[in-house]
Copies of this chain bind each other. A is one copy, B any other.
Amino acid sequence: MKLLEERIRRDGIVRAGNILKVDSFLNHQMDIALFSEMGKEFARLFAACGVNKILTIEASGIGIACIVAQEFGCPVVFAKKNKTKNIAGDVWTAKVESFTHGRVYDIIVSKDFLTKDDRVLIIDDFLAMGSALQGLIKLVQDSGATLVGAGIAIEKAFQPGGDLIRSQGVRVESLARIASMDPETGVEFCED
C-alpha cells in the first residue's frame, strides 16, 4: 500500500538492531485518517470472506482493529496479555514470546467472545518473528472458529514470521513489507 510505505519513509525512524519507530503515526500517536485508508484496503483484500469478527491483541493493535471493523460492520475482540498467574477456566489461552522484552507471557480471550460461529480476521500493527500472530491463530483454532486470515500493517519481511505462517496455509496480507532497513540508508520495501 503506497500510502503507508510513503508514510514509513517520511516519518519512520530506523534504529540499530532492526528497530523501526513509527510511534508518530501508528503505535503511540495514531493517525486515524491513515487507519481509515488501511481499513478500506483490508476490506478490499478480504471482501466476500464473510468476516464477522476482528481479533487483535492489546495495546497497539486495538486502534487499527477498531477502524478496520467499521468496514466489515463487525465487533472487535482484543486478546489480553495476562498479568496474573491464575487463568480462569473459561478463556482460550496461548503463550507468546516477546523478543523485544525478552520474556514469555500468556494471552487470553474469553470463550464467550470467540466461538465456532465466528469467521475471524486477525489484525495487528507489526509482524516480525510471528510469535504474537501464532498465539492469536492458536486462540482461533482452539475455539473452533474459522480463520479467514491476518491483516498486518507492517511486516518485517526479512524476519521469518510471515513466511513461516504463510507456509502453514494461513493467508497473511501485509500493507507494507520491509525487505531491509538501515539507520543510514532507511527502509527498502519488497517488490510485489
Contact = CB atoms under 8 A, between A and B. Distances in A.
Looking at A30, A35, A65, A112, which has the most chain B CB atoms within 10 Å of its CB?
A30
A24 interface: yes
Interface stretch (A2-10, A72-80, A170-178, A184-192): A72-80
Contact of A63 (B24, B73, B76, B110): B76
A30 B78 contact: yes
Given A58-B58, A62-B63, A63-B62, A76 B32 contact: yes
Contacts of A24: 112-113
A contact patch SS: mixed
A23 interface: yes
Contacts of A101: 83
